[in-house]
Amino acid sequence: MNNRHVESAARLRDQLANKIPLASAMQLSVESWDGRQLEIAAPLAPNRNDKQTAFGGSLYSLAVLSCWGLFTMRLWEEGLECEVVIQEASASYLLPVANDMVSRCVLADDELWRSTMTQLRRRGRARIALDAEIFAGAEPAFRLRGRFIAFLPGIPEKRSVR
């Protein structure tokens, strides 16, 4: 990680630990961030269900936070302090997860990012679709596609939550 990425990862860690009690209860840890790919991990124990596999709500929350974290950090690294909220998501449960888990969200498309920035500067807000994946060993076990919106400070009419 270069210094800028180290700094935003530290800031994300702080937000997850101190601003979102459920993220803290899930014992999330930011594993890696290189400006394009974010990995957040969670141990199984606080995230298990009655079957001793990962609770569906934990898999979803972990994946959503990896997308939200990626979008938020990209904006920080553009010098922008936006409010980032989720609008909708679809989730697919493919395999049970019986171990600690890592969610990965990747934004490798520079063109997509440029058009998101253009939209944000022009309209004060921008939408983006992000995907996250959680593996059980080598196989994908959970997939999320989320639609997020970022608001520049001072933009009204935020009819959404994260």
Residues lying near a copy of itself in the complex (CB under 8 A): 15, 19-23, 25-26, 45-51, 53-61, 64-65, 68, 83, 85-97, 141-142, 158-162
Q: How far is the CB of 26 from a copy of itself (least distance, A)?
A: 7
Q: How far apart are CA 33 and CA 40, in angstroms?
A: 9
Question: Which two three-digit tokens encode residue 119?
Answer: 């939209």
Q: How far apart are CA 138 and CA 48, in angstroms?
A: 20
Nearer to a copy of itself, 95 or 106 (CB): 95
Nearer to a copy of itself, 36 or 76 (CB): 76
Nearer to a copy of itself, 114 or 129 (CB): 129
Nearer to a copy of itself, 52 or 118 (CB): 52
Q: What are the two backbone dihedrals, phi and then psi, of residue 19, each rounded to the nearest 5 degrees?
A: -110, -15
Longest CA span, the chain: 49
Q: How far is the CB of 157 from a copy of itself (least distance, A)?
A: 12
Q: How far is the CB of 60 from a copy of itself (least distance, A)?
A: 5
| Burial class for 73, CB neighbours closer than 10 Å (0-12, 13-18, 19+) | buried
Nearer to a copy of itself, 33 or 68 (CB): 68
Question: Which two three-digit tokens encode residue 69?
Answer: 């974290």
Q: How far is the CB of 28 from a copy of itself (least distance, A)?
A: 11
Residue showing tokens 């899930």: 26
Q: How far is the CB of 92 from a copy of itself (least distance, A)?
A: 5
Q: What are the two backbone dihedrals, phi and then psi, of residue 146, each rounded to the nearest 5 degrees?
A: -120, 145
